[in-house]
Amino acid sequence: MEKTLVILKPSAIQRALIGEVIKRFEQKGLQLSGIKMIQLDNSILNEHYAHLADRPFFKRIKDSMMISPVIVTCWKGKDAVRVVRSMTGSTNSREAVPGTIRGDFSMSMQENIVHTSDSVENAKEELARFFKEGEIFDYSSALTPFTYSNDEI
């Protein structure tokens, strides 16, 4: 099963949407494998958003991500990266379709509730960036046989 990172951004924290966002992933059938609240700083944000360092909005992104603590989560499931990306919707929330997390809870390109890994490779890197060894758990869920058919596991 794949694992992917979801960060509940300060916009989710400040707007009291933590439970709503987590509930959607749980209801879909994804398994929560790691969760913690952390305060991001320049060092980790420079690393995480290095691919945007030369963009004019880089400082705005970092400032936004340090307004309050964030919640970093690891979700596990079949095709987890693709499923989570589909559930969250377009990065520009005004373009996100209703029914997606951003489509239902956000009006902003920046204050768009969540960050999600965009590939299996990036998910592995991002999870290693935000979680130490022993903070992501592999455990059996009694719901697995009711979430997947036996040939999908």
Whichever domain contains 125, its CATH number is 3.30.70.141
Q: Domain for residue 15, yes or no?
A: yes
Q: Domain for residue 153, yes or no?
A: no
Mean pLDDT of 15-40: 98
Alpha carbon distance 24, 49 (integer Å): 26
Q: Let me know if 115 is a catalytic residue.
A: yes
Please state the domain count of the chain. Answer: 1
What is the sign, positive or negative, of the torsion defined by CA atoms of 93, 102, 95, 59? positive
Enter the tokens of residue 54: 């030369």
Q: How confident is the model at residue 153 (pLDDT cuts 50, 70, 90)?
A: confident
Q: Domain for residue 152, yes or no?
A: no
Identify the active-site residue in 30, 115, 116, 131: 115
Mean pLDDT of 118-142: 97
pLDDT exceeds cutoff 90 at 112? yes
Give me the chain's average pLDDT, please: 97
- Structural domain including 24 reads 2-147
Rg (CA), the chain: 15
Contact between 84 and 25 under an 8 Å Cβ cutoff? The reply is: yes
In this structure, the strands spanning 31-38 and 70-77 are: antiparallel
Q: Domain for residue 57, yes or no?
A: yes
Q: Specify the pTM.
A: 0.95
Q: Domain for residue 42, yes or no?
A: yes
Give the pLDDT of residue 95: 97
Q: Domain for residue 24, yes or no?
A: yes
Q: How confident is the model at residue 65 (pLDDT cuts 50, 70, 90)?
A: very high
Q: Any idea which of 13-22, 64-73, 143-152 has the lowest mean pLDDT?
A: 143-152
